[in-house]
Structure 1
Amino acid sequence: MKEKSITFWELVLMNVSALYGIRWIAKSTSDSFGLGLGAIPMWIIFMLIFFVPQALMCAELATAYPTDGGLNDWVKIAFGTKYGFLVSWMHWTALIFWYASFLTFFSINFTYMIGKPELADNKILVLIMSLVVFWALSFASMRGMKFGKYFTSVGALGSVVPTVCLIGMAILAVVVFKKAPSASEYTIATLTPKLNMNSLVAISGITFAYTGAEFTANFASEMKNPQKDYPRAIMIAAGTICVLYVIGSVCMTMLMPTSEIFAYTGTLDALVIACNLLEVPQFFVQIVAFGITLSIFGAVVLYIAQPTKMLFGYSEPGIFPEKITKKNEHDIPEKAILFQAILVSLLLAGVAVFPAVETIYNVLITMTALTSLFPYVLLFAAYIKIKRKKVDKPGLYQMTKNKKWGCFLGYMELVICVIAIVCSALPVMTTFKENVVYEVEMIGGGLLVIVSGLWLWKRSGLKNKTFEIE
């Protein structure tokens, strides 16, 4: 029997590590991202109408079907094995090209940590750091979440503690000691997002900053009492994340005008200002950068392990060679992890060494952007179908016992998700020609990934098996 290895508070920290990203505070409040101060109310609104219902739906599904397959298995139960595979395929292909953004963020924070931010422009150094970190975390993920939870637990603190420092120092500098006036004025007018293409794309970005509740759902089976503890852990994590985003955004914009906030360095730039105002040694910023670096470790371990395990570990036999899907003693398909590490390494090396590859790489990121959103359409559709047909069992967690109300919330999430997908693909380039190219890459890329997944399924000769919903 599998050892129950994840405790309640470890799951809370895993959720915070996977779902909360301190980089989103700077990215959402920057004028270049499109929202400025308008990001502050958006964090609250979308927490209430999107993240909390999504998290509770995942909690209900995870406790009713506590398997390691998570989202993959829920979609299989609702629509069959074909669509369960397609969800896993879209998750995995999108992340392959997004690892670079995590590793770039890591490299920038690392250079701040050692007091040499100018090194972030050294491509070869960034490549070496990225490869070392990715391979180390790949090997760590092979040992399962019993080992990986230490990265995620420390990673959650590495993200939360810097945010708490930012909040505390901003309040001391601007509110308590009045070392400087607030860099921003908070009124109904300034807090209202502008209605234009950029702001709609930015709002869709906030929506998907709140996705990912399913990332830790497939670890429910590793808890002693998932029916009781999993939903509680989700709600505590949700409340923590919302407070950090909202108060963190307010405090960052107290220290810096939104026109001067940059997505990757905004947090550290704000802390430098706070340190100067409070006459705190700059070494403190290096300590905070170290904490943020740890938070990236925690998130990447989950991003490496969960989608790879879901795709290669739980796909139907015959889609991929048995050698790559075979699981080790920790229930992880380690050869698939190695294959992924090699693929990411080749992409990163190509981007660093060959200038033309960087252009291709950026195109690939754009092309796979939409496919990272489509799985949530199937998630909410699966919840609606399962909720409608599932036989309720005593003792299992339910978001609501009223099936009609549950389905209504499922449809609400589905509509929000579809709108966010449409908004994320809006034309935001400066010229008509650039917008045409951008839309072809976005929509064409999404279709290419979906079609390639369907082709893999057809090539395997498998039929779409359905399951009884109990």
Structure 2
Amino acid sequence: MGETPNNSKKMMWTTLATMAFSIVWSFGNVVNGFIYFDGTKVIFSWIVIFLLFFIPYALMVGELGSVFKDSEGGVASWINATIGPKWAYYAGWTFWAVHVVYISSKGTGGLRGMAWGIFGNTNWYDSLPTAWTQLATLVVFLFFCWVASRGIPVIKTLSTIAGTSMFIMSILFIIMMFAAPMINPHANFNTVNWNWQNFVPDFNIKYFTSLSILVFAVGGAEKISPYVNKLKNPSKNFPKAMLGLAGMVMISAILGTIALALMFDPKTVNGNLNEYISNGPYIAFQKLGEYYGVGGLFLYIYAWCNVIGQFSALVISIDAPLRMLLGGKEAKDFIPKKLLKVNKHGAYINGIWMIVILSGGIIALQAVMPDAQAVMAQLVKLNSIVMPMRYLWVFIAYLALRKQHEKFHKGFDNYQMTKHQWLAYIAGLWGLAVTIACCLMGMYSSDPFTLCLNIATPVVLLLLGLIMPTIRRHQEEKNN
């Protein structure tokens, strides 16, 4: 009788699966997969990436979350417990550093969304000289850095509303697209060719250098680790939740791809790659509105939801990763003291200045690109190379945890991915190898400037992370 109230507060596995789905997945992932992998040919790759990467990754996250149930710092806390504080700093630094590119892409994405929301197209915006669009992006970026420095909390509420509405629209898009031929049978739909060769990818350079797009799409499951121990019977229900999540994501990816195939011919997409990378979701919602006879209604709703989402994500990405890095006890001994300075609003002001220099530098560099579409396409690819680097620490933490199995054996009571040590090591090493390989292959580009940016960005961020503890050590020696 005494356990009933406690159990009633526990989460059902279906609740966790749905929550994780809204965190991990977005309509943009479906569109990017369709664009980069020749339409329906992406379905094979989605299935492989879910089975061989995403499910093991999510189950490993569950085990780490279960063992370190009281750790609030996420990956950095896991590394601190298994390897030590200096490595925890490197993990925290990586998590922060990968957001530098992400931050520079949010201003670009927000302005593009505004162009769609105001004009119903981006003809005028894309016709502007790149230097002008990048200057506008820089102004928007600096404004939101100022907002972040003021510690304004309303942004988080806006982000939640925008994120929820975008998630609902992504699901509605798939349902409404499949219903469209019945509602408007005379509209101009493509015929999906169900021949086997239309679902098997071409294993060429383009294929392997684009795999980072899929790895980037399915990452982020570490955000659900705090909820493992809030489940009823975690050892039984967490794998169920993760398999449920994988099932929902797989169904969404496959049905979303087929829905897009009814709208777009992959040959047309490949002939205008930058156009579709930059504007794919907007064009999709625009066409959907035409099928339903409501003009640009769906497009305008999607565009303004996206504007709010992009700009709120920009502020949160300036603020939250910085707080995790500079506020975490794991990193404080390795970071120069000036970066730890907090202003009267509780914001790490010098840390924000560091973001201004790094993210602002990427925005300024891209003024040499031919147009705003090329900038957007470059940022999508650069994000897919840099962002998955934070997942490496999940696999490192998991391998370190299993190596010290005896030390943490009590933590395995709630949930364990596998009892076989050899299988755990293979899973961890496999995840590590796949992530490194996809990030490295993703760096390739036939354009010299893009290739240099793809290589230089992670290298500069890595070197900066290595220099920080040295600066701090010199400061300590000087004081002593």
TM-score by length of 1: 0.77
The equivalent of 2:220 in structure 1 is: 212
Q: Give me the whole-angstrom Cα distance separating, in 2, the residues matched to 1:48 and 1:241.
A: 11
Q: What is the CA–CA distance in structure 1 between the aligned matches of 2:47 and 2:146, rounded to whole Å?
A: 37
How many angstroms apart in 2 are the aligned matches of 1:204 and 1:21? Answer: 16
Residue in structure 1 matched with residue 4 of structure 2 by the alignment: none
- After superposition, the C-alpha distances for 1:304-349 in whole angstroms (9 at most, x for unaligned) are 444323321224334334464378999x864466435644674477
Question: Which residue does the alignment assign to 1:288?
Answer: 302
* Matching of residue 379 in structure 1 with residue 414 in structure 2: no
Separation in structure 2 between the aligned mates of residue 238 and residue 99 of structure 1, nearest angstrom = 28
| 1:52–1:238 contact (8 Å) kept in structure 2 | yes
The answer as to 2:430 corresponding to 1:412 is yes
Which deviates more from structure 2 when the two are superposed, residues 66-75 or residues 172-181? 172-181
Paired position in structure 1 for 2:66: 63
User: 5 Å matches for 1:34-433?
Assistant: 34-65=37-68, 66-118=70-122, 120-121=125-126, 123=133, 126-132=137-143, 135-136=146-147, 150-174=157-181, 177-179=184-186, 180-215=188-223, 217=225, 220=226, 225=230, 231=238, 237-261=245-269, 262-296=276-310, 299-300=313-314, 303-314=317-328, 315-322=330-337, 324-325=339-340, 334-335=348-349, 338-339=352-353, 342-343=356-357, 346-347=360-361, 350=364, 370-390=385-405, 391-393=408-410, 395-425=413-443, 427-429=444-446
Q: Distance in 2 between matches of 1:102 and 1:319?
A: 29
Number of aligned residues = 440
Letter in 1 for 2:258: V
Give the superposition deviation at 1:15: 4.4
Unaligned runs of 5+ in 2: 1-10, 270-275, 475-480
Change (3 A) 1:402 1:84: same
Letter aligned with residue 429 of structure 1: S
User: C-alpha displacement at 1:189, in angstroms?
Assistant: 0.4
**Unmatched segments (≥5 aa) in structure 1:** 1-6, 463-470
How much has 1:255 moved relative to structure 2? Answer: 1.0
Seen in structure 2, the aligned counterparts of structure 1 residues 73 and 379 have a Cα distance that, compared at 3 Å, is same
Q: Give, in whole Å, the separation in 2 of the partners of 1:11 and 1:294.
A: 26
Partner of 1:28: 33
- Indicate the SS of the match to 1:270: helix
Asked whether the equivalents of residues 101 and 379 of structure 2 are also in contact (C-alpha less than 8 Å), the reply is yes
Cα distance change of structure 1 residues 120 and 456 upon mapping to structure 2, 3 Å threshold: same
- Give the stretch that moved more between structures: 359-368 or 68-77: 359-368
Residue 466 (structure 1) aligns with: none
Q: Is the 8 A contact 2:278 2:376 kept in 1?
A: no
Cα deviation 1:126-156 (Å, max 9, x = unaligned): 555555556546756x75xxx7764454243
Q: 1:46, CA displacement in angstroms?
A: 1.0
- Say if 2:340 and 2:350, in contact at 8 Å, map to a contact too: yes
Q: For the residues of structure 1 that align with 2:20 and 2:147, how far apart are their CA atoms?
A: 22
For residues 105 and 183 of structure 1, do their structure 2 counterparts lie closer, same or farther at Cα, with a shift above 3 Å needed? farther
3-state SS of 2:334 partner: coil
Moved more, 15-24 or 276-285: 15-24
Aligned counterparts of 1:444 and 1:347: Cα–Cα separation in 2: 12
Q: Is the deviation greater in 47-56 or in 115-124? A: 115-124
RMSD of aligned Cα (Å): 4.2
Tell me if the contact between 1:115 and 1:286 (Cα under 8 Å) persists in the aligned partners. Answer: no
- 1:110–1:448 CA distance, 2 compared to 1 (3 A): closer
Q: Distance in 1 between matches of 2:261 and 2:375?
A: 35
Deviation of the 1:398 alpha carbon:
2.1
Q: Aligned equivalents of 1:411 and 1:349: distance in 2? A: 35
Q: Distance in 1 between matches of 2:375 and 2:30?
A: 29
**Equivalent residue, structure 2, for 1:465:** none
Amino acid at match of 2:34: T
Q: How far 1:438 sits from its partner (Å)?
A: 5.8
CA distance 1:194–1:226, change in 2 (3 Å) = same
For residues 194-240 of structure 1, give each alpha carbon's deviation from its aligned partner in whole angstroms, at most 9, with x where no partner exists.
111111112232122212222454xx28x993786894776655444
Once the two structures are TM-superposed, the CA of residue 105 in structure 1 deviates from its matched residue by 2.0
Question: Would the alpha carbon gap of residues 360 and 242 (structure 1) be closer, same or farther in structure 2, given more than 3 Å must change?
Answer: closer
CA contact (8 A) 1:369 1:442 kept: no
Instruction: After superposition, give the CA deviation of every residue in 1:64-87 in whole Å (9 maximum; x if it has no partner).
Output: 213222111222333322222222
CA distance in 2, matches of 1:441, 1:401: 43
Q: Relative to structure 1, is the Cα distance of residues 158 and 363 closer, same or farther in structure 2, using a 3 angstrom cutoff?
A: closer
Cα distance in 1 for partners of 2:383, 2:296 equals 39
SS at match of 1:117: coil
User: Letter of the aligned partner of 1:285 in structure 2?
Assistant: L
Q: Contact 2:418–2:424 at 8 Å: present in 1 too?
A: yes
The answer to whether the 8 A contact 1:152-1:299 is kept is yes
Q: What's the CA shift for 1:101? A: 1.9
What are the Cα deviations for residues 392-427 of structure 1, in whole angstroms up to 9, with x where unaligned? 3264222233333333322222232233133213x4
